[in-house]
């Protein structure tokens, strides 16, 4: 009992590499930490990791974190009394297919922009760096000289030792049994050896995290899968200090260590594990080998590395690791709770990520906010429907394999689908909808023609739905398109103080007349954009707040947590009380007027206003607003009446064919307008002036909004970067994200999102650019010496602050 402090600032649950790294970084900040481990440090997943430490990740900040891991591990490895067996021999990545060539080549452009060293290497160079490889199937290769390999147990022990040296308490053989909570706050951690009172807790318990989350009412959806590798006998024929080899088309990675080869697998269909719970005794355990499962991958490896036919396998290893439904780990503060943090679900990259994870988590815990945009891995993205064992089991069988699949644009998950269907699902299905999943909702992405397969044929170029979406976009631009937008999250905010509340949270003046719709942003105290929303004043003391479904919990919690400072604010989640149809196009008013009694002329219902109307005898809210840049309306119906309203709107349409349109069309049309997408084009590292939505900001409201002070200072200093819309000279190439933007041969920014613009017939993107030493952003836009790099080749591009389609907004305001 004496080992435990009666109180500590932070309790970390789990002594794997992630927990120990957080302990190290918190201790560096002089924060009092107790780390509690149920058995021994590293005994969960960490001890048996293969120890690959790569640096290139899917986003800039995740790559920065992985780079930081390398620097930290190198520093610790070089300390006199520590050693982690860290060697930096680089890595060779091999492509065997055209799709993979595109992926790797685009990845190389992106990685260099993130500051990594990446060289495309010739066949001779591949052979020179990796003589054991048969080049028969090889189409290309890339070398990353700073990648390395480490002993995962040793580096974890280094982190733990250093953390202890700085004052951290590490208590092994002490299982966390539960928590005491007051309201939304954990006050005590109950352990086998006694209780620990604390200010904050961090759940960093690997594949046990879901179970621990349940003890304190937190949803941490993850599932373990079996991960296999084989270790060969020693052979003189194996050259020493080989780089890591990754051949994702063959589903393998290979590590040389002391004259042996370790061959690891990310097979297409994985084996979920732990359906009946993790055995209490699990400690430095492994799982039974399964050659029926692992064998086919080994055969692929033997075809590529002929030496494997001549040397024996010394050990077959199989160990469990946790996987998340979207293949991205969980970090940060849990919504709806005051002091619970999470760092878990590492999808087989926990060792390479842990250094950076420790750093950002320590900042997050110390300051109650993340210093950088980590939305991709933020635990706030977790949704309630994901707390479902069957969903997790099925999805994890897919996500392990996705690590080494080509990361196709517009990829749609194949498992655990149909979790949330709107009442219109069957109707749209019968109209040819090809569905995609967003936040669990099945949404029509595009409409197939009669006889056309509703499947994706993936590529980095124009996919099989390209012409379908062209027709949908053309209908919206020339006549009428009908979208279903029910999945958007909707909150009703009510109360006497509601105007003051919204004026505090939103950058725009919210004391508007009843019926007005306000497009606005919510900022944090550093003026970073937390949400991009529309808010409609339905009544004097009642507003409807609309946000994207992926931001559901993040925005709902943001509203709830700030509402505590105001009197009697009521916030209701009404997402499943309303369906939403969006009728867009130059003929939308004439058509809608023909089926609605209420006057919806431009005088009676101008742009940015809302009105109650009856459709099919059903009372609906009609919002004149657009995300596609046309005259158009969003129709909010009672959820259960959505089909009736749809039938009325759609079936009375014999002479003036309304075309059903999906989310790919929506994305293309918004790109032509330069409209933003939160999470891609804006988030906490952007402010409204940089994002080009400064027109929303009102600095002269009766009292300042959250973030106003910081925003004013930034405005006075002058903005650092600016969102610019781009069109590419080559229409056959498509932009996706992170393509570097050049001006006069120098990198000045990168693309945040891209899509083909069908009505302009242009390949489009948007991104942020920084001024150069010689030119302001305005001068750069006058000179137009832009190029964008796609797959290691630069192409001319035209930049514009305004969207390319209808920059004067004439189509919207008519």
Ligand X SMILES: Cc1cc2nc3c(=O)[nH]c(=O)nc-3n(C[C@H](O)[C@H](O)[C@H](O)COP(=O)(O)OP(=O)(O)OC[C@H]3O[C@@H](n4cnc5c(N)ncnc54)[C@H](O)[C@@H]3O)c2cc1C
Q: Which of 4, 18, 88, 676 binds ligand X (CB under 6 A)?
A: 18
Q: How far is the CB of 208 from ligand X (least distance, A)?
A: 3
Burial of 600 (0-12, 13-18, 19+ CB in 10 A): buried
Q: How far is the CB of 69 from ligand X (least distance, A)?
A: 9
Q: Which of 15, 90, 335, 765 binds ligand X (CB under 6 A)?
A: 15
Nearest to ligand X of 200, 723 (CB atom): 200
Nearest to ligand X of 160, 605 (CB atom): 160
The interface region with ligand X, picked from 76-84, 287-295, 341-349, 415-423 by CB under 6 A, is 341-349
Nearest to ligand X of 51, 662 (CB atom): 51
Nearest to ligand X of 176, 569 (CB atom): 176
Comparing C-alpha atoms, which of 144, 351, 123, 348 is closest to residue 245? 144
| Cβ proximity of 441 and 487 under 8 Å | yes
Binders of ligand X among 575-594, rule CB under 6 A? none
Q: How far is the CB of 374 from ligand X (least distance, A)?
A: 16
Helix extents (H) in 286-413: 291-304, 350-367, 389-402
Comparing C-alpha atoms, which of 115, 119, 23, 17 is closest to residue 67? 115
Q: How far is the CB of 709 from ligand X (least distance, A)?
A: 38
How far is C-alpha 428 from the chain's CA centre? 28
Nearest to ligand X of 227, 337 (CB atom): 227
Structural tokens at position 123: 């066949």
Nearest to ligand X of 175, 775 (CB atom): 175
Number of residues that bind ligand X (CB under 6 A): 38
Binders of ligand X among 695-714, rule CB under 6 A? none
Binders of ligand X among 765-794, rule CB under 6 A? none
Q: How far is the CB of 357 from ligand X (least distance, A)?
A: 9
Collect all residues with Cβ–Cβ distance below 8 Å to 236 and sequence separation of at least 6.
259
The interface region with ligand X, picked from 82-90, 348-356, 554-562, 757-765 by CB under 6 A, is 348-356
Q: How far is the CB of 190 from ligand X (least distance, A)?
A: 10
| Cβ proximity of 261 and 232 under 8 Å | yes
Q: Which of 10, 11, 12, 14 binds ligand X (CB under 6 A)?
A: 14
Nearest to ligand X of 23, 518 (CB atom): 23
Q: How far is the CB of 104 from ligand X (least distance, A)?
A: 19
The interaxial angle of helices 552-563 and 498-505, nearest 10 deg, is: 120
Q: How far is the CB of 146 from ligand X (least distance, A)?
A: 15
Q: How far is the CB of 356 from ligand X (least distance, A)?
A: 11
Do strands 786-790 and 119-121 pair parallel, antiparallel, or not at all (unpaired)?
A: unpaired
Which contiguous run of DSSP H or E holds residue 200? Answer: strand 194-203
User: For the chain, how far is it from start to end, CA to CA, in angstroms?
Assistant: 75
Nearest to ligand X of 327, 630 (CB atom): 327
DSSP assignment string, 135-184: -TT--EEEEETT-EE--HHHHHHHHHHHHHHTT-EEE-S--EEEEEEETT
DSSP assignment string, 208-233: GHHHHHHHTT-----EEEEEEEEEEP
Nearest to ligand X of 52, 580 (CB atom): 52
Q: Which of 10, 11, 198, 351 binds ligand X (CB under 6 A)?
A: 351
Nearest to ligand X of 39, 293 (CB atom): 39
The sign one gets for the Cα dihedral 702, 708, 712, 715 is negative
| Cβ proximity of 174 and 191 under 8 Å | yes
Q: How far is the CB of 326 from ligand X (least distance, A)?
A: 16
Binding mask 352-371 for ligand X (x = CB under 6 A): x-------------------
Residue 24 sits in the site that holds ligand X (CB under 6 A) = no
Nearest to ligand X of 204, 667 (CB atom): 204
Q: How far is the CB of 387 from ligand X (least distance, A)?
A: 18
**DSSP percent split of the chain into helix, strand, coil, nearest 5:** 30, 30, 40
Nearest to ligand X of 176, 625 (CB atom): 176
The interface region with ligand X, picked from 347-355, 604-612, 660-668, 671-679 by CB under 6 A, is 347-355
The interface region with ligand X, picked from 12-20, 657-665, 762-770, 771-779 by CB under 6 A, is 12-20
Q: How far is the CB of 54 from ligand X (least distance, A)?
A: 8
The interface region with ligand X, picked from 343-351, 592-600, 612-620, 759-767 by CB under 6 A, is 343-351
Q: How far is the CB of 21 from ligand X (least distance, A)?
A: 8
- Pairwise CA distance, residues 366 & 25, whole Å: 10
- Pairwise CA distance, residues 589 & 602, whole Å: 9
- Pairwise CA distance, residues 789 & 803, whole Å: 21
Q: How far is the CB of 313 from ligand X (least distance, A)?
A: 15
Comparing C-alpha atoms, which of 507, 551, 259, 647 is closest to residue 635? 647
Q: How far is the CB of 13 from ligand X (least distance, A)?
A: 5
- Pairwise CA distance, residues 51 & 32, whole Å: 30
Binders of ligand X among 229-268, rule CB under 6 A? 229
DSSP assignment string, 392-424: HHHHHHHHHHHTTS---TT----SS--SB--TT
The sign one gets for the Cα dihedral 661, 666, 667, 672 is positive
Q: How far is the CB of 43 from ligand X (least distance, A)?
A: 5
What are the φ/ψ torsions at residue 149 (nearest 5 degrees)? -140, 150
Q: Which of 216, 220, 270, 349 binds ligand X (CB under 6 A)?
A: 349
How far is C-alpha 536 from the chain's CA centre? 28
Binding mask 172-191 for ligand X (x = CB under 6 A): ---xx---------------
Structural tokens at position 289: 């080998």
Q: Which of 350, 356, 409, 579 binds ligand X (CB under 6 A)?
A: 350
- Pairwise CA distance, residues 532 & 540, whole Å: 23
Binding mask 29-68 for ligand X (x = CB under 6 A): -------xxxx---xxxx-xxxxx----------------
Q: How far is the CB of 115 from ligand X (least distance, A)?
A: 20
Q: Which of 11, 13, 250, 666 binds ligand X (CB under 6 A)?
A: 13
The sign one gets for the Cα dihedral 209, 168, 38, 149 is positive
Residue 679 sits in the site that holds ligand X (CB under 6 A) = no
Binders of ligand X among 188-227, rule CB under 6 A? 204-206, 208, 212, 227
Collect all residues with Cβ–Cβ distance below 8 Å to 52 and sequence separation of at least 6.
91, 147, 149, 244, 253, 255, 351, 352
Nearest to ligand X of 270, 559 (CB atom): 270
The interface region with ligand X, picked from 8-16, 126-134, 380-388, 506-514 by CB under 6 A, is 8-16
Distances (CA, A) of 797 to 114, 692, 727: 21, 20, 6
Collect all residues with Cβ–Cβ distance below 8 Å to 197 and sequence separation of at least 6.
6, 7, 8, 187, 188
Residue 319 sits in the site that holds ligand X (CB under 6 A) = yes
Structural tokens at position 202: 């961090």
Q: How far is the CB of 77 from ligand X (least distance, A)?
A: 16
> Which spans of this chain sit near ligand X (rule: CB under 6 A)?
13-19, 36-39, 43-46, 48-52, 175-176, 204-206, 208, 212, 227, 229, 319, 321, 344, 346, 348-352
């Amino acid at each position: 009992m004496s080992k435990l402090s009666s109180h500590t600032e932070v309790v970390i649950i789990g002594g794997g590499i992630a927990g120990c790294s957080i302990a190290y970084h918190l201790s560096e900040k002089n924060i009092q930490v107790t780390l509690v481990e149920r058995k021994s440090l590293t005994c969960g997943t960490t001890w048996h990791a293969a120890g690959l430490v790569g640096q290139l990740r899917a986003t800039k900040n995740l790559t920065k974190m992985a780079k930081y891991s390398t620097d930290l591990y190198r520093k610790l490895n070089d300390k006199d009394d520590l050693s982690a067996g860290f060697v930096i021999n680089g890595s060779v990545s091999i492509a065997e297919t055209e799709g993979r060539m595109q992926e790797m080549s685009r990845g190389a452009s992106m990685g260099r922009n993130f500051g990594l060293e990446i060289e495309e290497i010739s066949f001779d160079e591949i052979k020179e760096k990796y003589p054991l490889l048969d080049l028969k199937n090889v189409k290309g290769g890339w070398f990353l000289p700073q990648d390395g390999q480490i002993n995962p147990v040793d580096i974890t022990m280094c982190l733990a030792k250093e953390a202890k040296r700085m004052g951290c308490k590490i208590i092994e053989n002490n299982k966390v049994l539960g928590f005491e909570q007051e309201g939304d706050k954990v006050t005590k951690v109950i352990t086998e050896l006694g209780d620990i009172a604390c200010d904050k807790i961090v759940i960093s318990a690997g594949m046990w995290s879901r179970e621990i989350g349940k003890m304190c009412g937190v949803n941490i959806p993850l599932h373990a899968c079996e991960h296999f590798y084989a270790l060969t006998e020693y052979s003189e024929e194996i050259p020493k200090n080989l780089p890591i080899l990754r051949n994702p088309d063959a589903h393998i990675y290979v590590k040389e260590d002391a004259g042996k080869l370790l061959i690891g697998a990310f097979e297409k269909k994985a084996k979920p594990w732990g359906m009946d719970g993790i055995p209490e005794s699990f400690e430095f355990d492994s799982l039974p080998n399964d050659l029926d499962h692992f064998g086919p991958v080994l055969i692929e490896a033997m075809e590529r590395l002929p030496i494997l036919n001549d040397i024996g396998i010394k050990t077959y290893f199989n160990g469990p690791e946790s996987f998340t439904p979207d293949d991205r780990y969980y970090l940060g503060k849990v919504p709806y709770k005051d002091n619970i943090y999470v760092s878990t679900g590492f999808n087989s990259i926990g060792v390479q990520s842990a250094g950076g994870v420790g750093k950002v988590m320590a900042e997050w815990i110390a300051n109650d906010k993340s210093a950088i945009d980590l939305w991709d891995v933020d635990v706030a993205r977790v949704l309630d429907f994901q707390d479902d064992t069957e969903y997790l089991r099925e999805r994890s069988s897919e996500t392990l394999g996705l690590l080494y699949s080509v990361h196709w644009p517009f990829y749609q998950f194949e498992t655990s689908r149909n979790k949330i269907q709107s009442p219109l699902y069957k109707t749209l299905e019968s109209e040819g909808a090809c569905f995609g999943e967003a936040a669990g909702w099945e949404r029509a992405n595009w409409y197939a023609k009669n006889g056309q397969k509703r499947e994706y044929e993936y590529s980095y170029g124009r996919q099989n739905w390209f012409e379908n979406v062209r027709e949908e976009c053309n209908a919206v631009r020339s006549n009428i398109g009908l979208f279903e937008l029910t999945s958007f999250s909707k909150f009703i905010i009510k109360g006497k103080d509601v105007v003051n509340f919204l004026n505090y949270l939103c950058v725009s003046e919210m004391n508007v007349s009843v019926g007005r719709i306000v497009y606005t942003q919510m900022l944090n105290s550093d003026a970073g954009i937390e949400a991009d929303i529309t808010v409609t004043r339905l009544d004097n003391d009642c507003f409807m707040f609309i946000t994207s479904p992926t931001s559901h919990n993040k925005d709902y919690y943001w509203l709830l947590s700030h509402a505590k400072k105001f009197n009697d604010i009521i916030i209701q989640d009404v997402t499943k009380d309303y369906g939403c149809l969006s009728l867009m196009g130059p003929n939308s008013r004439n058509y809608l007027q023909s089926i609605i009694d209420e006057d919806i002329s431009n005088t009676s219902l101008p742009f940015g206003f809302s009105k109650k109307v009856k459709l099919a005898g059903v009372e609906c809210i009609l919002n004149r607003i657009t995300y596609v840049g046309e005259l158009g309306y969003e129709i909010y119906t009672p959820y259960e009446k959505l089909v009736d309203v749809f039938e009325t709107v759609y079936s009375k349409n014999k002479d003036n064919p309304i075309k059903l349109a999906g989310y790919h069309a929506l994305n293309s049309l918004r790109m032509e307008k330069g409209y933003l997408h939160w999470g891609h084009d804006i988030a906490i590292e952007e402010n409204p002036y940089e994002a080009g939505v400064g027109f929303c900001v009102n600095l002269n409201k009766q009292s300042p909004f959250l973030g106003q002070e910081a925003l004013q200072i930034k405005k006075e200093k002058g903005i650092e970067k600016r969102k610019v819309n781009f069109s590419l000279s080559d229409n056959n190439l498509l932009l996706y994200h992170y393509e570097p933007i050049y001006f006069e041969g120098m990198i000045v920014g990168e693309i945040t999102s891209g899509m083909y613009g069908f009505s302009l017939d242009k390949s489009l993107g948007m991104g942020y650019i920084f001024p150069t030493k010689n030119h302001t952003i305005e001068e750069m836009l006058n000179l137009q010496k832009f190029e964008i790099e796609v797959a290691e080749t630069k192409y001319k591009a035209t930049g514009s602050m305004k969207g390319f389609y209808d920059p004067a907004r004439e189509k919207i305001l008519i």
